[in-house]
């Protein structure tokens, strides 16, 4: 036998030496275990040995002189033996048995029937039983402690008796007094919110049926203070040998705060913080739901309105962002008040809002609502002492089979741009032609970038003629789409260039090439030193801080004096942003470059403003020149423009002269210069070169002659 095995320390209490010897022999002779036997025969010395608590097992003889073993056990352990006690007795009675059990005696053995095997097994059982009991006590203690310390309430449902134990904390969570006895399950279910009860019962059933690995249910329960609290109930079943559930136990925790935080997060994720309206994500989701319903019920159409505040940037920039924000909030409220309760209004960001109209059968239904929204904006917004009149442009798209939410949004957006394009404060219902336009426009944008990047742009030149002498005073450079490409008019590609910012590069190309061409004509002796070149400048180019630098470089590159360059800028561009343009022009023009005011008469110039710019000439817009022929008396505008220019000491250039009658009238009115098909259409550099070569000033007189 392994000597290293821990010996079992036995205190043998026996007043009969013979019996002691028999018992201790039995122990020593054991093969399965090693015993260290200590013998006591006296009651008091036994008590003393017990008090030391250093034995693994006590073998106590029932008869101890005038005492009994049971008395010793009672005195030594006070009913809770620290190690197992086995009673050795001559005879056993039922009463003795009862008393021994009550005192915590583990086993008793009848001496006459004692043999080494019985003794060994009894000791072994007693020790392992004691160990198990101790472990159980510890675990129960730990469990009790955990239950008490946990924030969760505990419940334990005996499915056989159908009674539930609720821990004190379970009651506390719901503000209820503690109950000592187990309760009926109705206590629990009676407190559950009626709206959640079916779901909870279904979850319990699913777990009991073995369809879910555990019970987990979030539901509301009535707190004693009358409020509803959100709780989480978790649970697990124990099953009998036949697999039928016998017991289910679990926890209950108050998740009201967590849920509120969760709801807040969820709300924030789906709503715009400024206005509290649904955001794009939530809006798209609602559109999606409606569209899905429309698949089942084809009559349930919907419409999406895309709203954009006209000139919102102006409010933001000229007042303040704070005023802009307040305006958006007020605006959101106003839009919402023009809708029916079921409709959704959302803010996509910036000044863009969308509206979802449900149960719309056609475009008319939606335009009625759009008109109502627009009418609600007739009244000014009062913000921070500012009276703001705001208008909206609205694009409308209608649901149709096969369209998804993104399609509807895109169509409404396209329609909104169409409304803006046709002048603000309008509403437009989307149609396919708009989509085609957008697609075309995108294609055009790409082409334009290619044209500019690869310097494929053509330039045509149109002479500007001195109406008195007939000499060519200047040539206007006009950009042209590449000749071998499908034609695109300049007004179209210039607008796209302006909107996309390509105009900067385009303008530089025209400037360089036009100056280079003039320089070439000079070298060939086709033009004199007083002949200039006019280059159009778009408003967007004024944003470029390096503009004057580029102009100078282009002139230097062509080795020309600054005075030969005239920059044409439209009247409306100049007047739109007086402060900014004034600074740019004084910089560009101080060197001698001239400034011509293009399309004059179409904008609203103020005389005072005109004075502030180094303008060299006014170009009367073609539209006024064209009316000269049809309504000979109706030349008030041309006449007053000429008078105005002359009063400012500026010469006038008439655009678009097509007929000799116009030429005669302009001459009579004292207009100095003219440009138009009557003299020449815009021509390529080569064709313009030959025009210059064969030009004779006298032909202008002939052109003006009455036939």
Apex 627 CA angle, 625 and 631, nearest 5: 135
CB of 274 to ligand C2E, least distance (A): 39
- 416-443 b/e with 16+ CB inside 10 Å = b? bbbbbeeeeebbbbbeeebeeebeeeee
Q: CA-CA-CA-CA torsion for 503, 507, 510, 516, nearest 10 degrees?
A: -150
CA distances from 226 to 156, 169, 170, 175 (A): 25, 18, 17, 10
**What distance in Å separates the CA atoms of residue 576 and residue 579, rounded to the nearest whole number?**
9
Which of these segments, 326-334, 356-364, 442-450, 534-542, binds ligand C2E (CB under 6 A)?
Answer: 534-542
Please pick, from the candidates 279, 536, 641, 662, the single residue that binds ligand C2E as defined by CB under 6 A.
536
Residue 598 within binding range of ligand C2E, rule CB under 6 A: yes
Q: β-pairing, 85-89 with 215-222?
A: unpaired
Q: Give the tokens for residue 82.
A: 């620290």
State which of residues 122, 354, 393, 462 lies at the interface with ligand C2E (CB under 6 A): 462
- For residues 155 and 167, what is the distance between their CA atoms, to the nearest angstrom? 6
Smaller CB separation from Mg ion, 221 or 653: 653
Q: In angstroms, rounded to a whole number, what is the distance separating the alpha carbons of residues 450 and 564?
A: 31
Determine if 601 is a binding residue for ligand C2E (CB under 6 A). no
Task: For the chain, give the longest Cα–Cα distance.
Answer: 165
**Could you tell me how many residues of this chain bind ligand C2E (CB under 6 A)?**
24
Kindly list the residues in this chain that would bind Mg ion in the complex (CB under 5 A).
Answer: 536, 568, 598-599, 655
Name the token pair of 334. 């106003």
Supply the DSSP symbol for 487.
P
The interface partner of residue 491, options being ligand C2E, Mg ion, none and the CB cut-off 5 to 8 Å by kind, is: ligand C2E
Quote the least distance from Cβ 619 to ligand C2E, whole Å.
7
Looking at beta carbons only, is 12 or 574 nearer to Mg ion? 574
Q: Tell me if residue 300 falls in helix, strand or coil.
A: coil
* Nearest distance in Å: CB 539, ligand C2E: 9
Q: Which of 38, 325, 543, 658 binds ligand C2E (CB under 6 A)?
A: 658
Q: Is 267 left (phi over 0), alpha (psi -120 to 50) or beta?
A: alpha
Under the criterion CB under 6 A, does residue 89 sit at the interface with ligand C2E? no
CA separation for the pair 547, 589 (Å, rounded): 11
463: contact with ligand C2E by CB under 6 A: no
Coil/strand/helix, residue 531: coil
From the list 54-62, 209-217, 516-524, 651-659, the region that binds ligand C2E by CB under 6 A is 651-659
The footprint of ligand C2E on residues 465-484 (CB under 6 A) is 478-479
Min. distance of Cβ 448 from Mg ion in angstroms?
Answer: 19
Three-class secondary structure of residue 503 per DSSP: helix
Residues counted in the chain: 707
DSSP-assigned letters across all residues of 233-263: EEEEEEE-TTS-EEEEEEEEEE-HHHHHHHH
- Of 413, 568, 571, 672, the one binding ligand C2E (CB under 6 A) is 568
Smallest gap, in angstroms, from Cβ of residue 356 to ligand C2E? 41
The option from ligand C2E, Mg ion, none interacting with 89 (CB < 5 to 8 A, set by class) reads none
Give the tokens for residue 179.
């109950």
For residue 680, state whether it binds ligand C2E (rule: CB under 6 A).
Answer: no
682 binds, among ligand C2E, Mg ion, none (CB under 5 to 8 A by kind): ligand C2E
Segments in 271-345 forming alpha helices (H): 280-296, 312-318, 321-337
Rule CB under 6 A: is residue 656 a binding residue for ligand C2E?
yes
What's the chain's Rg over C-alpha atoms?
Answer: 51
Two tokens, residue 227: 């409020």
Residue span 323-362 as binding mask against ligand C2E, x where in contact by CB under 6 A, dash where not: ----------------------------------------
Residue from 180, 273, 491, 698 touching ligand C2E (CB under 6 A): that is 491
Residue 308 interacts with ligand C2E (CB under 6 A): yes or no: no
The interface region with ligand C2E, picked from 17-25, 205-213, 274-282, 650-658 by CB under 6 A, is: 650-658
Comparing CB distances to Mg ion, the nearer of 83 and 570 is: 570
The whole-angstrom separation of Cα 379 and Cα 649 is 46
Among 343, 599, 635, 672, binds ligand C2E (CB under 6 A): 599
Binding status of residue 682 toward ligand C2E by CB under 6 A: yes
Taking the C-alpha atoms of residue 219 and residue 194, their distance in angstroms, rounded to an integer, is: 10
d(CA 631, CA 617): 26
Q: Which of 165, 175, 173, 129 is nearest to 144 (CA)?
A: 165
**Per-residue interface string for the shown chain with ligand C2E, residues 492-531, x marking contact by CB under 6 A:** --x------------x--x---------------------
Q: 19 or 599: whose CB is closer to ligand C2E?
A: 599
Which residue, 184 or 499, has its beta carbon nearer to ligand C2E?
499
Q: Of 19 and 655, which has the nearer Cβ to ligand C2E?
A: 655
Applying CB under 6 A, among 538, 581, 605, 662 the residue interacting with ligand C2E is 538
Nearest-angstrom CA–CA distance, 101 and 481: 112
Q: Is 490 in the site for ligand C2E (CB under 6 A)?
A: yes
- The least distance separating ligand C2E from the CB of residue 656, rounded to whole angstroms, comes to 4
Residues forming contacts to ligand C2E in the complex (CB under 6 A) are 462, 478-479, 489-491, 494, 507, 510, 536-538, 568, 598-599, 622, 655-658, 675-677, 682
């Amino acid at each position: 036998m392994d000597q290293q095995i821990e010996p079992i320390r036995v205190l043998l209490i026996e007043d009969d030496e013979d019996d002691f010897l028999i018992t201790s022999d039995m122990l020593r002779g054991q093969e399965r275990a090693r015993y260290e036997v200590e013998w006591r025969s006296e009651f008091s010395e036994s008590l003393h040995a017990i008090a030391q608590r250093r034995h693994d097992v006590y073998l106590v003889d029932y008869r101890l002189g005038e005492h009994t073993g049971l008395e010793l056990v009672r005195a030594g352990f006070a009913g809770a033996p620290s190690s197992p006690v086995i009673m050795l007795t001559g005879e056993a009675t039922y009463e003795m048995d009862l008393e021994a059990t009550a005192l915590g005696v583990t086993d008793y053995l009848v001496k006459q029937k004692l043999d080494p095997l019985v003794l060994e097994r009894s000791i072994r059982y007693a020790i392992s039983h004691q160990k198990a009991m101790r472990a159980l006590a510890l675990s129960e203690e730990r469990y009790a402690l955990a239950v008490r310390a946990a924030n969760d309430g505990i419940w334990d449902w005996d499915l056989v008796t159908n009674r539930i134990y609720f821990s004190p904390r379970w009651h506390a969570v719901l503000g209820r007094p503690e109950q000592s006895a187990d309760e009926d399950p109705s206590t629990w279910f009676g407190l559950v919110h009626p709206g959640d009860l079916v779901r909870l019962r279904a979850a319990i059933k699913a777990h009991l049926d073995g369809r879910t690995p555990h019970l987990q249910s979030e539901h509301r329960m009535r707190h004693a203070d009358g409020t509803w609290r959100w709780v989480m109930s978790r649970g697990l079943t124990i099953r009998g040998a036949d697999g039928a559930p016998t017991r289910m136990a679990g926890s209950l925790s108050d998740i009201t705060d967590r849920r509120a935080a969760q709801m807040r997060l969820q709300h924030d994720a789906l709503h715009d913080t400024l206005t509290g309206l649904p955001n794009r994500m939530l809006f798209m989701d609602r559109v999606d739901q409606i569209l899905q319903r429309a698949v089942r019920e084809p009559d349930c159409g919907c419409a999406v309105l895309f709203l954009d505040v006209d000139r919102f940037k102006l409010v933001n920039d000229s007042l303040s962002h704070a005023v802009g924000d307040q305006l958006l909030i007020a605006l959101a409220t106003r839009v919402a008040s023009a809708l029916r309760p079921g409709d959704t209004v959302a803010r996509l960001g910036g000044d863009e809002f969308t509206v979802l109209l449900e149960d719309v059968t056609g475009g008319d239904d939606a335009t009625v609502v759009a008109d109502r929204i627009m009418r609600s904006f007739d009244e000014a917004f009062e913000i921070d002492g500012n009276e703001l009149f705001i208008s909206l442009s609205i694009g409308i798209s209608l649901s149709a089979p096969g369209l998804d939410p993104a399609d509807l949004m895109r169509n409404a957006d396209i329609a909104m741009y169409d409304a803006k394009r046709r002048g603000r404060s309008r509403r437009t219902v989307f149609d396919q032609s708009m989509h085609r336009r957008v697609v075309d426009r995108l294609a055009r944008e790409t082409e334009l970038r290619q044209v500019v990047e690869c310097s494929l742009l053509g330039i045509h030149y149109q002479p500007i003629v001195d109406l008195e002498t007939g000499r060519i005073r200047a040539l206007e450079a006009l950009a042209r789409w590449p000749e071998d490409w499908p034609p695109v008019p300049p007004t179209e590609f210039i607008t796209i260039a302006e909107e996309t910012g390509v105009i900067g590069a385009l303008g530089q190309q025209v400037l360089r090439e036009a100056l280079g061409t003039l320089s070439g004509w000079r070298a060939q002796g086709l033009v004199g030193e007083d002949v200039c070149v006019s280059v159009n400048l778009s408003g967007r180019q004024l944003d470029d801080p390096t503009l004057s630098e580029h102009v100078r470089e282009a002139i230097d590159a062509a080795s020309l004096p600054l005075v030969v360059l005239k920059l044409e800028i439209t009247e409306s561009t100049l007047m739109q942003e007086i402060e900014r343009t004034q600074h740019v022009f004084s910089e560009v023009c101080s060197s001698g470059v001239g400034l011509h005011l293009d399309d004059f008469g179409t904008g609203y110039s103020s005389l005072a403003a005109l004075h502030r710019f180094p303008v060299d000439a006014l170009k009367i817009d073609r539209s006024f020149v064209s009316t000269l022929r049809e309504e000979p008396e109706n030349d008030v505008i041309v006449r007053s423009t000429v008078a105005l220019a002359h009063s400012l000491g500026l010469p006038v250039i008439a655009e678009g002269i097509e007929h000799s009658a116009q030429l005669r009238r302009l001459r009579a009115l004292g207009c100095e210069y003219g440009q138009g098909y009557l003299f020449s259409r815009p021509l390529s550099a080569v064709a313009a070169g030959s025009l210059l070569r064969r030009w004779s000033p006298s032909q202008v007189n002939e052109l003006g002659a009455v036939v």
